[in-house]
Amino acid sequence: MSQCIDPFVGKILAGWRYDITGLAPEMSGDYEAHLAECEHCRSRQKVHRTIDISLIALATVSAFVFVFAFAVIHHFSPPHALWFEFGALCGFTLSALVWLIVAVATPAPLVMKDAAISGARNLHDRLPENLRDRLPEELRVKISGH
């Protein structure tokens, strides 16, 4: 595995879990430059974002499974259905709480937003000119980022 090119900056970034989204632009410039140059820190940042997004995806799937379980239990009404329904609702609540904590404590939503905008920009660039002109101006401004 490669070594960090500037261990001092690398330790600062590691302490922040490689999240520089909340920094002021004048402070984040050096850190962005370090991430652009340092393969070690860039790969660590990618691992952290993958974990964050995976946690959000897992919590989302878990919440849907608990809602589905609640619906099935409610539909078939087995003996002691009230306890099963309560368990399903508790599972849903825990999944929603985990989702909320990960979404608030990590930059994963911003990463997903940037990925969506990048995908929209690529799709927009491949559209024929006549279709591109039909898009509302507000949407074109959002996609282009200007």
Q: pLDDT tens, 6-64?
A: 888 889 888 877 888 777 887 788 888 898 999 999 999 999 989 999 999 999 999 99
- Rounded distance between C-alpha atoms, residue 92 and residue 94, angstroms: 5
Does residue 21 form part of some domain? Answer: no
Structural domain count of the chain: 1
The model carries a pTM of 0.75
Does residue 91 form part of some domain? Answer: no
Does residue 73 form part of some domain? Answer: no
Does residue 121 form part of some domain? Answer: yes
Contact yes or no for 32/20 (Cβ under 8 A): yes
Does residue 144 form part of some domain? Answer: yes
Q: What proportion of the chain, given as a percentage, has pLDDT over 90?
A: 43
User: Which secondary structure element, helix H or strand E, spans residue 128, and what is its range?
Assistant: none
> What range does the domain containing 134 cover?
107-146
- Rounded distance between C-alpha atoms, residue 83 and residue 94, angstroms: 16
